[in-house]
Amino acid sequence: MTIGILTSGGDCPGLNAVIRGAVIKGDRIHHETFLGIRDGWRGLIEDDIRPLERTEVRGISKQGGTILGTSRTNPFESGGSQRIAEVMQKHEMDAVIAIGGEGTLTAARRLSDDGINVVGVPKTIDNDLSATDYTFGFDTAVSIATESIDRLRTTAESHHRCMVVEVMGRHVGWIALHSGIAAGAHAVLIPEVPVTLQQICRWVEAARDRGRAPTVVVAEGFIPEGQEREVAPRGLDVFGRPRLGGIGEQLAPLIEEVTGIETRSATLGHLQRGGVPTSYDRVLATRFGTASVDAAVARQWGTMVSLVGTDIKNVDLHDATTVLKSVPRDRWDEAAILFG
């Protein structure tokens, strides 16, 4: 069998470990041949494909990013199943292992419904995919965020300031929740739980009154209760364009205004996705990689490998892509006991 591998959507520490696990197991146990598809679905639509040899994946599980490149190309906006079937036929490619997040796996599900042989591997630092307990990349992102918050805390303490730290999470607050708990934040703000500016300021003042440097961790998708969803420009930037700050940058001056505590903000951004994966992520990604080849050899098309407890299972892509896994209210309540 000839198997194509692609990585699609935002990159994520651990992608290379999946590729390595799949290629080594496929080569050693099942004697399969692999093709590397460049930049996700784009490579499959534009026929940007090359052989992927076992020698190429040697030692890459510790490497961040993806050796195959990635893109956010949606195959259904440029050719769809018919074009993909043509390209696969040209390369005598029997199946595709698609490693990606919600968008990628939704496309994989649709392609599978159209008769393309696909196996999915869940990937996202956000940990927001249903039908898997964890995704690789999340542990790395939480570790980087936790270390950054710890570092920001020492400078805030020296200056008796409040620090607002914005972490990734457009739709869900898993990174904010876990890094906030780990770093002992005084408030964790996530998209799933509306909180007013007044409440945030009460937590900040309570921390200050106990002699602490108030630390607020906010997920990028958080909107304070009672506010509009649209981001309003805050003045003009140096190029004369409307200035759009993230939620952390928007909250900091308001907290300062209400509490009188000097406040700074830091946005961690893509730092959370860069560099070497943690050992936990390398192990999970490697297990996903080897299991995805087993699923392809067993012709379990339209499925996705997933972590259930400590076991790797196969689940239907339909179950994996219907709802995002958000933070349950009781998980946030559990953490909120420690705020302020």
Instruction: Catalog residues that contact ligand F6P under the rule CB under 6 A.
Output: 10, 101, 124-126, 168-170, 220, 273
Task: Please report how close the Cβ of residue 208 comes to ligand F6P at its closest, in angstroms.
Answer: 30
Task: Please report how close the Cβ of residue 26 comes to ligand F6P at its closest, in angstroms.
Answer: 27
Residue pair 164/188 in contact by the 8 Å Cβ criterion: no
The response to whether 10 counts as a known ligand-binding position is: yes
H or E, element range at 228: none
Question: What's the distance, CA 251 to chain centroid?
Answer: 24
Q: Kindly name the residue from 11, 39, 126, 281 that is annotated as catalytic.
A: 126
H or E, element range at 187: strand 187-189
Q: What is the DSSP string of 107-139?
A: HHHHHHHTT--EEEEEB-TT--BTTSS--BTHH
In the complex with ligand F6P, which residue's Cβ is closer, 32 or 102?
102
Task: Please report how close the Cβ of residue 273 comes to ligand F6P at its closest, in angstroms.
Answer: 6
Question: What's the distance, CA 150 to chain centroid?
Answer: 22
The response to whether 125 counts as a known ligand-binding position is: yes
What values do phi and psi take at 278, rounded to 5? -70, 165
The response to whether 161 counts as a known ligand-binding position is: yes
The response to whether 273 counts as a known ligand-binding position is: yes
The response to whether 270 counts as a known ligand-binding position is: yes
In the complex with ligand F6P, which residue's Cβ is closer, 14 or 302?
14
What values do phi and psi take at 277, rounded to 5? -75, 155
Q: Given CA atoms 115, 121, 122, 125 in this order, what sign does their dihedral have?
A: negative
In the complex with ligand F6P, which residue's Cβ is closer, 32 or 220?
220
Task: Please report how close the Cβ of residue 190 comes to ligand F6P at its closest, in angstroms.
Answer: 12
Q: Is 47 a catalytic residue?
A: no
The CB density around residue 259, as the number of other CB atoms within 10 Å, is: 18
**Closest residue to ligand F6P in the complex (CB):** 168
Task: Please report how close the Cβ of residue 82 comes to ligand F6P at its closest, in angstroms.
Answer: 28
The response to whether 64 counts as a known ligand-binding position is: no
Q: Given CA atoms 140, 270, 326, 332 in this order, what sign does their dihedral have?
A: positive
In the complex with ligand F6P, which residue's Cβ is closer, 129 or 251?
129
Structure tokens at 218: 């906010």
The helix/strand/coil state of 235 is coil
In the complex with ligand F6P, which residue's Cβ is closer, 186 or 325?
325
Which residue ranges are tagged as binding site?
10, 72-73, 101-104, 124-126, 161, 168-170, 220, 264, 270-273
Looking at the annotation, which residues are catalytic? Answer: 126
Which residue ranges are tagged as binding site for substrate?
124-126, 161, 168-170, 220, 264, 270-273
Which residue ranges are tagged as binding site for ATP?
10, 72-73, 101-104
